[in-house]
Amino acid sequence: MDKTDERLIAALRHDARASLSDLALQLNLSRTTVRARIERLMQRGDILGFTVTLKEDVLNDPVRGLMMIEIEGRGAARITRQLQGLKQVRAIHSTNGRWDLIVELGTETLEDLDHALARIRLFEGVQASETSLLLSTKKAT
């Protein structure tokens, strides 16, 4: 992926519905070049698809947090399966360092978030956790 591809992807992230003509003008390329680059990025798997973010999607989780979890022994797979079953869990990330998992949570209220955190802390093998509330989002993909 070269600088032009990166600029094209940035433009698509800003407005995935932009026409080929608008993208070509913005990037100082021909429409044919823009179309060919998008097709190549899709064929290579760099672009997996295009999506729509609705206002409703953002409003569904007025309370969001990141929970870092330290797991005792070899229970990561089991705990990950348990986390996948919770409706408050938006994403689960494995990581290195002090924390074994980072879990993105979303709820309607702080009380709901507190209940989810308490439930997760009771999972057998959860040794320690730390949670940070997300106050605002400056950029989302």
Angle, in degrees to the nearest 10, between helices 31-44 and 3-14? 90
Rounded to an integer, what distance in angstroms lies between the CA atom of residue 42 and that of residue 35? 11
Q: Provide Rg for the chain, Cα atoms.
A: 20
Per-residue pLDDT of 23-44, as tens digits, reads 999 999 999 999 999 999 999 9
Prediction pTM value: 0.62
User: If we measure between CA atoms, which residue out of 130, 88, 133 comes closest to residue 106?
Assistant: 88
> How confident is the model over 91-118, as pLDDT tens digits?
999 998 899 999 999 999 999 999 999 9
* Residue 91, both tokens: 């994403």
